[in-house]
Amino acid sequence: MNRIVSSPQPDDASQITDKKLAFVSSDTDEAKHARETLAAQYGEVPHADADIIVALGGDGLMLETLYAQMGTNKPIYGMNRGSVGFLMNEYREDGLRERLAKADTTAIYPLEMTATDDNGVEHSALAINEVSLLRQTSQAARLKISVDGRVRLEELICDGIIVATPAGSTAYNLSAHGPILPITAQLLALTPISAFRPRRWRGALLPDWAAVDIEILDPEKRPVSASADHREIRSVTKVSVRESTEKEGRIMFDDDHGWDERILTEMFRY
Catalytic residues: 59
Residue 11 known to bind ligand: no
Centre a 10 Å sphere on the Cβ of residue 38 and count the other Cβ atoms it contains: 20
Query: Taking CA 77 as the corner, what is the angle to CA 125 and CA 187, rounded to the nearest 5 degrees?
Result: 50
Residue 77 known to bind ligand: no
b/e 40-60 (16+ beta carbons within 10 angstroms → b):
eebebeeeeebbbbbbbbbbe
Residue 240 known to bind ligand: no
Residue 118 known to bind ligand: no
Cβ atoms of 80 and 89 within 8 Å: the answer is yes
Bridge partners (DSSP) of residue 226 are: 133, 233
Residue 256 known to bind ligand: no
Residue 59 known to bind ligand: yes
Residue 171 known to bind ligand: yes
3-state helix/strand/coil string of 27-64: CCHHHHHHHHHHHHHHCCCCHHHCCEEEEEECHHHHHH
Phi first, then psi: give them for residue 173, nearest 5 degrees.
-55, -45
Residue 130 known to bind ligand: yes
Residue 96 known to bind ligand: no
Residue 91 known to bind ligand: no
Tell me the binding residues for NAD(+): 59-60, 129-130, 159, 167, 170-175
Binding site feature residues: 59-60, 129-130, 159, 167, 170-175
